[in-house]
Amino acid sequence: MDRTNNSEPILKLEDLSTHFAVPEGIARAVEHLSYHVFEGETLGVVGESGCGKSVAALSILRLIPIPPGRIASGKILFMGQNLLELPMKKMRKIRGDQISMVFQDPMTSFNPVFTIGYQLSKVFTLHQKLSRKEAVKRSVDMLEACEIPSPERIMKVYPHQLSGGMRQRVMIAMALGCNPTVLIADEPTTALDVTIQAEILDLILRLKKKFGMAMILITHDLGIIANSAQRVVVMYAGEKVEEADVLSLFEKPGHPYTIALMKSLPHLGKTKKFLNEIEGVVPPPFRVIQGCKFAERCPEAMERCRKERPRLRSIEKGHMVACHL
């Protein structure tokens, strides 16, 4: 794909900060975050639990509850227009029509009292203004595209009657129903059994190709990124600490946090233990930290790291790292 300087990203976050008012003060869940995705590309966003990956994604779709949330700075440019400035009515149209999202836990995204068929065909009657009959047909087609056996039967069941993997397939069918330009997949396989995870990820990647979407793939698993994304953004405590194309990230990881994430990747025969190489946890987002947020867990931390926040700088073309080393 052509990614020369004149091709503009389809979606671009610029200096996004999303804060929440909490009893302890202000939770800076996302701080001065910039990332972008090109048409047809997969951008991986990786980081431990609590790093702000989902808050950033929900900010794109303007699904942050305000209050207690607040977009404190930045722009979200989708095909050149700033989504943060759109009236809610227009935003609702973009949501689902052009940018859609697959969540970690499909159960919470369904209404338990309606059948799959009812909920799925609503996507088409509401967004594409199809007749009830056409919508049912499109729904069955989408279920088929998501490799769901006997789709006509599945249309008649309720969400709880499906396995987790099947529910995730239905949710993907729903998200892709309107042929979005950008798909945000937020930990789409985390809640599933290991054997099903690979199947679902494979399905998402094939559908992504078939429908020609751009994708933001959010995960805490660098292993998933390695096989599916072209570029990666590594987040720590609400901030971007590294950005690179996949090859360069795996060949020359620049940030000690990225290196730690890599070391925690499961190896064959070893049980998976997340971040067993570094101690401690992500600092809570309301804590005010002067220097590098990772310093307290970093094996390489120096005096300067505790005093001065490192800025992102380029170490090679398209590869940026925020670290004093």
Ligand X SMILES: Nc1ncnc2c1ncn2[C@@H]1O[C@H](COP(=O)(O)OP(=O)(O)OP(=O)(O)O)[C@@H](O)[C@H]1O
Binding site for ligand X (CB under 6 A): 20, 22, 27, 29, 47, 49-55, 65, 68-69, 220, 285
Helix, strand, or coil here: 278?
coil
Q: Are 172 and 146 in contact (CB under 8 A)?
A: yes
The token duo for 133 is 């009959």
22 binds, among Mg ion, ligand X, none (CB under 5 to 8 A by kind): ligand X
Sheet-wide strand order for 69-78: 25-37, 11-22, 69-78, 81-82
Q: Smallest distance from the beta carbon of 264 to ligand X, in angstroms?
A: 14
- Among ligand X, Mg ion, none, what does residue 49 contact (CB within 5–8 Å per kind)? ligand X
The total of other beta-carbon atoms located within 10 Å of residue 295's CB is 23
Site for Mg ion in 247-306 (CB under 5 A): none
d(C-alpha 60, C-alpha 37), whole Å? 13
**Number of residues written out for the chain:** 325
Q: Quick one: tokens of 81? A: 């227009």
Kindly tell me which of 58 and 136 has the beta carbon lying closer to ligand X.
58
Q: How far is the CB of 103 from Mg ion (least distance, A)?
A: 9
* Rounded-to-integer distance, Cα 273 and Cα 223, Å: 13
29 binds, among ligand X, Mg ion, none (CB under 5 to 8 A by kind): ligand X
Q: What is the DSSP letter of 52?
A: S
**What is the side-by-side strand order in the sheet with 231-236?**
99-102, 182-186, 214-219, 42-46, 231-236, 239-245, 319-321, 313-316
Judged by beta carbon, residue 98 or residue 219, the one nearer ligand X is 219
Residue 47's binding partner out of Mg ion, ligand X, none, with CB under 5 to 8 Å set by partner kind: ligand X
- Least gap, CB of 250 to ligand X (angstroms): 21
Q: How far is the CB of 282 from ligand X (least distance, A)?
A: 8
Site for Mg ion in 54-93 (CB under 5 A): 54
Stretch that binds Mg ion, among 51-59, 255-263, 271-279, 301-309 (CB under 5 A): 51-59
CB of 132 vs Mg ion, minimal distance in Å: 35
Applying CB under 5 A, the residues found at the interface with Mg ion are 54
